[in-house]
Copies of this chain bind each other. A is one copy, B any other.
């Protein structure tokens, strides 16, 4: 098999850990697999380099930042290659450029355009383990670019897609994807399989295992993604297309605490008013999540929406230019609880069970938003963890 493995900053955090990673890679090599290993910088290094730059300015130029930040992955990829060679295996480290990763020109958050896989294929054909510096590529000018948060995952998925790899394993320090956060519900179970779509919903709802960009790309390129723990031998969670799976009703419960709610009361109910409000927010790059609109009295409407908590102050400022302050009600003491499952598509009554479960616990639902495969509910933050446990139980996720 051709396997792409990606090791994150914690897995590459010390020389001893890099040595452990080398041993794991060698185990796969000895089983006869072809291997492309994508690595992150040692944990903390990228942040340290950012601090260095911020000593000089809070707004360093993107191009120069990318040249700076790309150094961290060059170090770990070279070290892993040296570790592999020292154990008697042929290996070669490739920078993003050498691996053929061509991106657009959006420094510090570039998108991968294409991958010229010739060098990687040649090195694999020569029997070498290929170690690629993650998180980086080059634009058409030959300038180094970086891919933003979660960029090394993205490198791995893109390489797996371009190389038509059989498997793309993402190693972190957790065992895989859980039915819910085990710190909230100790009965949470690790999932063996989950679909891209479910994973996307869970990730956007606060599950931190994988960034949405990587899952989206895996879905698009049809890459079989596995998230595993680099500190043990557990099996991990396979993230793949739906076809191969029995459609479970609900796969997981997510809790997103990074939410704030804004309500604008008594907006004149005329066409275009929502557009005006949300364009103003979009101009400031504020990510609006859930939106509800109720008809009020006297031809006015109430518009409510949620945003990330760290954009709360900025949103209030924007809103004050759109509507009189007296009409704006803000509330950051809320959380979003979501149930996710592809089974919802074909089963009715899934959402109803969620509502009745929360009602039974005396939890008031402030907002509801649904998609084909998820139901999200805004509740007071003090009920967040109780709601997760109750729903986990109601959908029998511990079974």
A36 within 8 A of B: no
Chain A residues with a Cβ closer than 8 Å to the other chain, count: 38
Establish whether residues B85 and A78, one from each chain, have CB atoms under 8 Å apart when the complex forms: no
- Stretch in A50-58, A219-227, A293-301, A319-327 with 4+ CB within 8 Å of B: A50-58
A68 within 8 A of B: yes
Provide the A52-95 mask, 1 if CB < 8 A to any CB of B, else 0. 11011100110111011011101101110111011000011101
Residues on B with C-beta less than 8 A from A49 are 75
Report which of B71, B85, B93 forms a contact with A57, defined as CB distance below 8 A. B85
Residues on B with C-beta less than 8 A from A302 are none
Can you give 27 contacting A-B residue pairs, CB < 8 Å?
A15-B52, A15-B56, A19-B56, A49-B75, A52-B75, A52-B79, A53-B78, A56-B79, A56-B83, A57-B82, A57-B86, A60-B86, A61-B85, A64-B78, A64-B85, A64-B92, A64-B93, A65-B78, A67-B81, A67-B95, A68-B75, A71-B72, A71-B75, A74-B74, A95-B144, A97-B142, A98-B143
A12 to chain B, nearest CB (A): 12
Establish whether residues A53 and B68, one from each chain, have CB atoms under 8 Å apart when the complex forms: no
In the complex with contacts A15-B55, A56-B19, A98-B143, A74-B82 CB distance below 8 A? no
Establish whether residues B70 and A82, one from each chain, have CB atoms under 8 Å apart when the complex forms: no
Provide the A92-104 mask, 1 if CB < 8 A to any CB of B, else 0. 1101011000000
Q: Name the CB-closest residue of B to A143.
A: B98
A96 to chain B, nearest CB (A): 12
Other A-B pairs beyond A56-B86, A67-B93, 18, CB < 8 Å: A15-B52, A15-B55, A15-B56, A57-B85, A60-B82, A61-B82, A64-B82, A64-B85, A64-B93, A65-B82, A67-B95, A68-B74, A68-B78, A68-B79, A70-B74, A71-B74, A71-B75, A71-B78
A52 CA / B80 CA spacing, docked (Å): 11
Residues on B with C-beta less than 8 A from A72 are 71
Establish whether residues B75 and A60, one from each chain, have CB atoms under 8 Å apart when the complex forms: no
CB contacts under 8 Å to B, within A1-40, are: 15, 19, 22
A91 CA / B56 CA spacing, docked (Å): 14
A299 CA / B249 CA spacing, docked (Å): 102
Residues on B with C-beta less than 8 A from A15 are 52, 55-56
Residues on B with C-beta less than 8 A from A53 are 78-79, 82
A89 to chain B, nearest CB (A): 12
Establish whether residues A82 and B95, one from each chain, have CB atoms under 8 Å apart when the complex forms: no
Establish whether residues B82 and A56, one from each chain, have CB atoms under 8 Å apart when the complex forms: yes
Residues on B with C-beta less than 8 A from A79 are 52-53, 56, 68
Report which of B68, B77, B142 forms a contact with A67, defined as CB distance below 8 A. B77
Provide the A135-155 mask, 1 if CB < 8 A to any CB of B, else 0. 000000011100000000000
A77 to chain B, nearest CB (A): 7
A144 CA / B240 CA spacing, docked (Å): 38
A223 to chain B, nearest CB (A): 27
Most buried by B among A22, A52, A56, A143: A56
Report which of B81, B93, B142 forms a contact with A98, defined as CB distance below 8 A. B142
A64 CA / B94 CA spacing, docked (Å): 9
Report which of B19, B22, B63, B71 forms a contact with A71, defined as CB distance below 8 A. B71
Q: Name the CB-closest residue of B to A142.
A: B98
